[in-house]
Chain A
Amino acid sequence: MKLVRYFPVAVDSIRANKMRASLTMLGIIIGVAAVLIILGVGRGASEDILGEVASQGTTRLTISPSTENEGEGAGSAVETLTMGDVRTLSDPAFHPDVRQIVPQYGGNIQLVAGNENTRARVTGTTAAYADVHRLEIAEGRFLTEDEITQMSNVIVIGTTVATDLFERTQVVGESVRIDGEPFTVVGVLEESGNAGFGSNDESGFIPIGVAHGRVFNVPRYRGEYVVTSISADAVSEERVDAAERQIEQTLRLRHGLGADDDSDFSISTQASLLDTIGSVTSTLTLLLSSIAAISLLVGGIGIMNIMLVSVTERTKEIGLRKALGAHTSDVLLQFLVESLVLTLLGGLIGIGISYGAAVLVSRVPGFPIDVLIGIDALVMALGVSAGCGLVFGLYPAMRATRLDPIVALRYE
């Protein structure tokens, strides 16, 4: 294509003004690098969270009671999810796609050992909890079936709880008191490493029966202890939806809900959680990138400014080129290509910088997230740079074409 002819001309002209060209490019460089790094951080963070969620199993479903939406207790949980529901849901004949059902009843409570005490989220549950929630045990083991049925006074604790109470984590066999009642520590969980999402570092787990009968003052509904949530595990990722339908059907039936009644519970799946997290992080990333995009805009205006100066400065050259036979389109393309080369070069340098930053971050040990820059982001950065060049170069280039050759030649 004919356009290629103008590149050497543009490169010559940029070379002749290296300092000015590099200052001009700086705006684009910073803009592109900022957008790419922010996109990379956003992507790195979301992959991190998504990975965390996925590592806890993508086959899990969580059944929670709905919240009251009117009356005095508005906002608090409807207490209609019970151990009776758990027992019914555990019947594989009606729930062929549900592999495990795990009840939970939890609350924040004081744990005491010797003179030390700490508040922790203590959850009463069953042995299958460790499997369904993919818990990793650092010391000892999780609760056993026997301990559940015998309602033994045993507890599994997180690392923060262990260090708070004993200043160490090798505490299997030690005793912890809840409300004066001693509990034997049978296991310590692996440290989750991240303080945020899905961490069990500040948790404790005891048999569900102990939680219901002795630790918490648990209300009953239709003669059964209520639970704060039920976890279910589907047989496979593909069967999660089927499992959800089976659970919903059973619960609506048991709770005596008519066809038009709203459910008094909700079922969330890890898959839907992944969706939510994905959309939250992408919204956040979009917001941050639009802020970074403003610096691109500023850079583009810088390009326009310099190109206008350049056109004025080179009035004589433009006049000469026209006198020697340049068409209007030749002058237009010359200046457009020049600004295109400037922005593309700036874009490439910006990409280089953002890549450098990504590599640097990945070398820092213990840095919480990776900066992930995808090919799509690179292509976008180049496209935006080129677009900037064309958009902001157009007006100066058009100014150049309007010059009258004889007037331009006389310009000093």
Chain B
Amino acid sequence: MADSSTLIDMQNITKVYQMGETKVLALNGVSLSIEEGEYIAIVGTSGSGKSTLMNIIGLLDSPTEGVFQIRGQRADGLTGRQLADLRNREIGFVFQQFNLLARAAAWRQVELPLFYANVARSAARGRALETLAQVGLAERADHKPEELSGGQQQRVAIARALVNRPSLLLADEPTGALDTRTGEEVLALFEKLHQEGLTLVIITHDQEVAERARRVITMRDGAIISDSPGAAATAAYGGSNGLSEPALAPLPRPVAIEQIQERVYEAG
């Protein structure tokens, strides 16, 4: 049983996507526990299941098998309403594709979570503008996505994830579309919030970004192949980079579908 500071606890999580006849095993027996106040980077090759894992942590998706707990509560025991409220108040999600509303001004996008948190309209606008200023977009508040650059859209999405002051921030490639300087600014903001207690989980392809985390999780073929303290954590002991990519990574091979199928059928 996880202790009280455990935010997320996953045991043997699998996720199977059914694509017509074939089944895709996106997560294959992932066990992971995230403590309050952690700063985690998730790395791994494309298609290794990072986003899938993130969706499950963010209560957007449910695992096919395995036990998922948030603050000691099983997610499959929560109602849709409770899940929605948790997503709204506890979790900030920065999507890999920014997922902005096509025709809404930036501040309206940022205001959305506040609308569902029943914050009064006037107060919501103020907070949305404030958060936009935090990501350096104060002057772009009235611009629509089509009038913003990719990096600016990314920052609108980040502001939206932060506006409800979540305790857990999940960011799928948050610096992917940003130049080095803006990327650095965004990370600095994340890290400042982390100092203030925000739990941070970032998916990244960028070594430099990963190295700043206290813990680095590497995935391949739907499984965690390494979970180690990051460079930032080990640097103090003069240790090496925690990323344990083998020099010659084997080519991703198709998962043995039949094996999984059996398991899925048994389960349900």
Interface residues of A (CB under 8 A from B): 5, 8-9, 12, 16, 316-317, 320-328, 330, 405-406, 409
Question: Are B95 and A327 within 8 A (Cβ)?
Answer: no
Question: Are A406 and B88 within 8 A (Cβ)?
Answer: no
Question: Are A409 and B95 within 8 A (Cβ)?
Answer: yes
A8 — which chain B residues lie within 8 A by C-beta?
A: 121
Question: Are B115 and A5 within 8 A (Cβ)?
Answer: yes
What is the CA–CA distance of A328 and B82 in the complex, to the nearest angstrom? 11
CB closest chain-A residue, reference B56: A406
CB closest chain-A residue, reference B93: A323
Question: Are A12 and B104 within 8 A (Cβ)?
Answer: yes
Question: Are A325 and B87 within 8 A (Cβ)?
Answer: yes
Decide yes or no whether B80 CB sits under 8 A from chain A: yes
Question: Are B117 and A325 within 8 A (Cβ)?
Answer: yes
Q: A5-B115, A405-B60 are in contact. Are A322 and B84 (CB under 8 A)?
A: yes
What is the CA–CA distance of A376 and B60 in the complex, to the nearest angstrom? 50
A172 CB to nearest chain B CB (Å): 80
A325 — which chain B residues lie within 8 A by C-beta?
A: 84-85, 87-89, 113, 116-117, 164
What is the CA–CA distance of A330 and B88 in the complex, to the nearest angstrom? 13
What is the CA–CA distance of A228 and B58 in the complex, to the nearest angstrom? 94
Question: Are B116 and A409 within 8 A (Cβ)?
Answer: no
Question: Are A406 and B116 within 8 A (Cβ)?
Answer: no
CB closest chain-B residue, reference A324: B113
What is the CA–CA distance of A317 and B99 in the complex, to the nearest angstrom? 8
A405 — which chain B residues lie within 8 A by C-beta?
A: 60
Decide yes or no whether B181 CB sits under 8 A from chain A: no
Q: Which of A8, A317, A328 has the most CB of B within 10 A?
A: A317
Q: Which of A9, A317, A323, A324 has the most CB of B within 10 A?
A: A324
What is the CA–CA distance of A325 and B84 in the complex, to the nearest angstrom? 4
Question: Are A406 and B85 within 8 A (Cβ)?
Answer: no
B101 — which chain A residues lie within 8 A by C-beta?
A: 317, 320
Question: Are A406 and B61 within 8 A (Cβ)?
Answer: yes
Interchain Cβ contacts under 8 Å between A and B, 11 examples: A5-B115, A9-B115, A321-B116, A322-B84, A325-B116, A327-B81, A327-B84, A328-B80, A328-B81, A406-B55, A406-B60
The 5 closest A-B pairs by CB, nearest first: A325-B88, A325-B116, A16-B103, A406-B61, A324-B113
Q: A317-B101, A406-B55, A409-B95 are in contact. Are A324 and B88 (CB under 8 A)?
A: yes
Question: Are B60 and A323 within 8 A (Cβ)?
Answer: yes
B87 — which chain A residues lie within 8 A by C-beta?
A: 323-325
Q: A5-B115, A12-B104, A406-B55 are in contact. Are A324 and B160 (CB under 8 A)?
A: yes
A321 — which chain B residues lie within 8 A by C-beta?
A: 112, 116
**Dominant secondary structure at the B interface:** helix
A323 CB to nearest chain B CB (Å): 6
What is the CA–CA distance of A207 and B61 in the complex, to the nearest angstrom? 99
What is the CA–CA distance of A324 and B85 in the complex, to the nearest angstrom? 9
CB closest chain-A residue, reference B164: A325
A316 — which chain B residues lie within 8 A by C-beta?
A: 99
B121 CB to nearest chain A CB (Å): 8
Which chain B residues numbered 88 to 121 have a C-beta less than 8 Å away from chain A? 88-89, 93, 95, 99, 101-104, 108, 112-113, 115-117, 121
B139 CB to nearest chain A CB (Å): 22
Question: Are B84 and A326 within 8 A (Cβ)?
Answer: yes
B81 — which chain A residues lie within 8 A by C-beta?
A: 327-328
A328 — which chain B residues lie within 8 A by C-beta?
A: 80-81
What is the CA–CA distance of A176 and B117 in the complex, to the nearest angstrom? 93
Q: Which of A323, A327, A328 has the most CB of B within 10 A?
A: A323
What is the CA–CA distance of A321 and B102 in the complex, to the nearest angstrom? 13
A97 CB to nearest chain B CB (Å): 71
B49 CB to nearest chain A CB (Å): 14
A326 — which chain B residues lie within 8 A by C-beta?
A: 84, 116
B230 CB to nearest chain A CB (Å): 28
What is the CA–CA distance of A327 and B108 in the complex, to the nearest angstrom? 19
A323 — which chain B residues lie within 8 A by C-beta?
A: 58, 60, 87, 93, 95, 99
The proximity string for B residues 141-178 relative to A, scoring 1 for CB distances below 8 Å and 0 otherwise, is 00000000000000000001000100000000000000
B59 CB to nearest chain A CB (Å): 9
B60 — which chain A residues lie within 8 A by C-beta?
A: 323, 405-406, 409
What is the CA–CA distance of A270 and B99 in the complex, to the nearest angstrom? 74
A sample of 20 more A-B contacts (CB under 8 A), given A316-B99, A325-B88, A405-B60, is A5-B115, A317-B102, A320-B99, A320-B112, A322-B84, A323-B60, A323-B87, A323-B93, A323-B99, A324-B87, A324-B116, A324-B160, A325-B116, A326-B116, A327-B81, A327-B116, A328-B81, A330-B116, A406-B55, A406-B61
Question: Are A324 and B61 within 8 A (Cβ)?
Answer: no
Q: Which of B58, B61, B115, B160 has the most CB of A within 10 A?
A: B115
The listed residue (B103, B112, B121) touching A324 by CB distance below 8 A is B112
What is the CA–CA distance of A405 and B95 in the complex, to the nearest angstrom? 13
What is the CA–CA distance of A319 and B95 in the complex, to the nearest angstrom? 12
What is the CA–CA distance of A325 and B117 in the complex, to the nearest angstrom? 8
A5 — which chain B residues lie within 8 A by C-beta?
A: 115, 121
